[in-house]
Amino acid sequence: AAAMGITARTVSDLVDTFYGHVRADADLGPIFEKAIGDTWEPHLDTMKRFWSAIVFHDGGYSGRPMPAHVKLKPDIAPEHFARWLGLFEQTLDEIGASEAAKAAFLDRANRIAKSFQLQLFYSPYE
């Protein structure tokens, strides 16, 4: 991560800027507001620990992301993931992440988004 210029500041800027866009987004904003309401600080803190654990392997996140998203199932569709990923990529450009850092974050985000979507929307026995 250091070689890509990723620091704690990168992660903090990424999360703060990204969720600023998410909250202002016409499609994603209401979904997050409904689930998170006025407890954004703990969510932002969780998300900083989540991304730090991914890039620094610092063990700071030990949650289980899937159940948090299964709860949202009635309100989300694949289009929401496409929008989420689009805003995430835009944010990486805005915060001035290096090309290598951008590729690393996007690769992880894409993989996780794909795995969430398989679990949410692909139901072989339904």
Instruction: State the residues that interact with ligand HEM by CB under 6 A.
Output: 28, 31-32, 35-36, 43, 46, 50, 63, 65, 68-69, 72, 76, 80-81, 84, 109, 112-113, 116
d(CA 126, CA 123): 6
d(CA 106, CA 119): 20
Q: Give the nearest distance from C-beta 99 to ligand HEM in angstroms.
A: 20
Which CB atom, from 32 or from 56, has the smaller least distance to ligand HEM?
Answer: 32
Residue 98 φ then ψ, to 5°:
-65, 160
Which CB atom, from 79 or from 126, has the smaller least distance to ligand HEM?
Answer: 79
Q: Give the nearest distance from C-beta 84 to ligand HEM in angstroms.
A: 4
| Residue in this structure with the two tokens 């899937």, named with its chain if needed | 66
The contacts of residue 112 (CB under 8 Å, 6+ apart) are 65
Q: Where are the beta strands (DSSP E) in 34-86?
A: none
Q: Give the nearest distance from C-beta 2 to ligand HEM in angstroms.
A: 22
Residue nearest to ligand HEM (CB): 63
Q: Give the nearest distance from C-beta 76 to ligand HEM in angstroms.
A: 5
Which CB atom, from 56 or from 69, has the smaller least distance to ligand HEM?
Answer: 69
Q: What is the CA radius of gyration of the chain?
A: 15
